């Protein structure tokens, strides 16, 4: 106890208890300590009873502390780790000055965690923070139904985060969360959302579906795929970082189609959207490939692509809007036809190929059968 008392002078009592408890070994089958786990897994994949534990409550204190005044959270933060006094002060100072994001599952992950702990503890502070987070989601939505990656929208070199963002499934994750809020999931049912709030959530979800349909790229009258981000006003495919140019997205489009496939009694427009996207992907595989890593003479690792008839089908991350051919791009923003034509850093530091369309193509026959489509 003397150790905890002494340490409290540095990080505060809550921080000390967090250091003591959070670093303990959890009763997991693999005996993995909590601090060795990913925050996303702690937030939603722990045993149900854990969310009622003192350990979960300590983590919840961090989540409450780090929530921005506007209602969301930053990304890529290990909220299950202890927070020292200086970091705590920085969080408190930035609450009103910096917005929040949906990138990398941020905000949605924290809200799921709060729902889990509230369902077990009924601590009204968790519900209040959860309600603020849901309000943040609703506030951040554009009138056209899309969501930016970051809100409030920023200016300057990161202004692209104001685009309607499908990249890394940002908008799909929001939409899936809204859908779950209206479901019979016990954790979300425990939040006891008002009828008026549920109506707003349903409206936001419906607007989101409409946005998916409005942003789908149409070629010669046929719906095809989507870009990873679209302009928030014109809805046209838009540029993000220097190597993320307006394009057909071979990855992000899949999450949109899978969500559209979940709609019961889909409209003719939704059916046409799905059929068009599937046809486009069936025609745009780049072949059966192996993505290997070789060791260079200097000991560095380098990614190589090998054609292999026994390998799975792959698709490109990006396709040119005019030629519809796969391309690769370095930080200079110049398109290349081969991954070998770009520098080592981007060649190895970005995912240029994807197998994600497999999921969509596998589900397509069952979707057609379910909806009476020949």
CA distance 314 to 291: 10
**What are 249's strand-pairing partners?**
318
Residue 125: inside a domain: no
Residue 192: inside a domain: no
Residue 46: inside a domain: no
* C-beta of residue 18 within 8 angstroms of C-beta of residue 82: yes
Residue 103: inside a domain: no
Span 342-347, average pLDDT: 96
Span 229-240, average pLDDT: 98
Residue 11 has pLDDT above 70, yes or no: no
Q: What region, left, alpha or beta, does residue 114 occupy, with left being phi > 0 and alpha being psi -120 to 50 degrees?
A: alpha
pLDDT at residue 229 in the model: 98
CA distance 114 to 177: 13
Residue 352 has pLDDT above 90, yes or no: yes
pLDDT at residue 117 in the model: 98
Containing structural domain, residue 342: 248-374
Higher-confidence residue of 25 and 239: namely 239
3-class SS of residue 185: coil
Question: From residue 305, how far is each of 183, 336, 374 by CA, in Å?
Answer: 43, 15, 37
User: Which pair of structure tokens corresponds to residue 119?
Assistant: 């369902």
pLDDT at residue 33 in the model: 86
pLDDT at residue 44 in the model: 97
Residue 8 has pLDDT above 90, yes or no: no
Report the percentage of the chain scoring pLDDT > 70: 91
Q: Which residues contact 31 (CB under 8 A, 6 or more apart)?
A: 25
What confidence tier does 32 reach under pLDDT thresholds 50, 70, 90?
low
Span 293-322, average pLDDT: 96
Residue 154 has pLDDT above 80, yes or no: yes
Q: Tell me the per-residue pLDDT of 257-271, one tens digit each, with 9 for 90 and over.
A: 999 999 999 999 999
Span 20-39, average pLDDT: 58
What confidence tier does 30 reach under pLDDT thresholds 50, 70, 90?
very low
CA distance 362 to 80: 37
**Residue 349, domain CATH:** 1.50.10.20
Residue 107: inside a domain: no
Residue 29 has pLDDT above 70, yes or no: no
**What are 303's strand-pairing partners?**
293
Specify the pairing of strand 100-101 against strand 150-151: antiparallel
Residue 260: inside a domain: yes
Q: Tell me the per-residue pLDDT of 38-61, one tens digit each, with 9 for 90 and over.
A: 999 999 999 999 999 999 999 999
Span 218-242, average pLDDT: 98
Active site residues: 104, 241
Residue 230: inside a domain: no
Residue 219: inside a domain: no
Strands (E) across the chain are located at 100-101, 150-151, 164-165, 218-219, 222-223, 229-230, 248-249, 287-295, 301-307, 313-316, 318-319, 328-329, 335-336, 353-354
Report the percentage of the chain scoring pLDDT > 90: 90
223-245 burial, b at 16+ Cβ within 10 Å, e below that, comes to bbbbbbbbbbeebebbbbeebbb
What confidence tier does 17 reach under pLDDT thresholds 50, 70, 90?
very low
pLDDT at residue 97 in the model: 85
Residue 16 has pLDDT above 80, yes or no: no
Domain count, the chain: 1
Question: From residue 11, how far is each of 54, 56, 89 by CA, in Å?
Answer: 19, 19, 11
pLDDT at residue 7 in the model: 34
CA distance 82 to 88: 10
**What is the reported pTM?**
0.90
């Amino acid at each position: 106890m003397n150790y905890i008392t002494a340490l409290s002078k540095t990080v505060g009592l809550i921080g000390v208890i967090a250091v003591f408890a959070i670093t303990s070994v959890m009763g997991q089958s693999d005996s993995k300590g909590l601090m060795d786990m990913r925050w996303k897994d702690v937030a939603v994949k722990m045993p149900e009873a854990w969310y009622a534990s003192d350990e979960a409550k300590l983590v919840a204190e961090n989540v409450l502390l780090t929530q921005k005044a506007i209602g969301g959270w930053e990304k890529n933060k290990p909220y299950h780790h202890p927070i020292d006094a200086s970091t705590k002060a920085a969080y408190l100072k930035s609450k009103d000055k910096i917005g929040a994001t949906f990138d990398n599952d941020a905000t949605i992950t924290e809200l799921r965690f709060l729902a889990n702990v509230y369902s077990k503890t009924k601590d009204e502070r968790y519900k209040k923070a959860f309600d603020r987070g849901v309000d943040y989601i609703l506030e951040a939505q554009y009138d056209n139904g899309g969501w930016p990656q970051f809100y409030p929208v920023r200016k300057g070199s990161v202004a692209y985060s104001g685009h309607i963002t499908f990249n890394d499934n940002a908008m799909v994750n929001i939409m899936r969360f809204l859908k779950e809020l209206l479901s019979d999931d016990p954790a979300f049912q425990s939040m006891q959302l008002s009828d008026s709030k549920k109506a707003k959530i349903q409206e936001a979800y419906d607007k989101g579906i409409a946005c998916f349909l409005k942003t789908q790229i149409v070629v010669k009258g046929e719906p095809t795929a989507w870009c990873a981000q679209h302009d928030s006003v014109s809805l046209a495919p838009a540029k993000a970082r220097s190597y993320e140019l307006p394009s057909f997205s071979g990855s992000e489009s899949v999450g949109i189609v899978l969500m559209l496939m979940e709609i019961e009694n889909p409209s003719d427009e939704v059916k046409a959207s799905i059929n068009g996207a599937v046809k486009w992907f069936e025609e745009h595989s780049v072949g059966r490939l192996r993505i290997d890593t070789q060791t260079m003479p200097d000991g560095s690792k380098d990614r190589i692509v090998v054609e292999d008839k026994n390998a799975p089908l792959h698709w490109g991350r990006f396709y040119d809007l005019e030629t519809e051919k796969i391309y690769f791009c370095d930080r200079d923003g110049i398109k290349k036809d081969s991954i070998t034509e770009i520098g080592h850093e981007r060649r190895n530091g970005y995912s240029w190929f994807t197998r994600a369309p497999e999921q969509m193509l596998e589900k397509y026959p069952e979707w057609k059968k379910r909806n009476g489509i020949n």
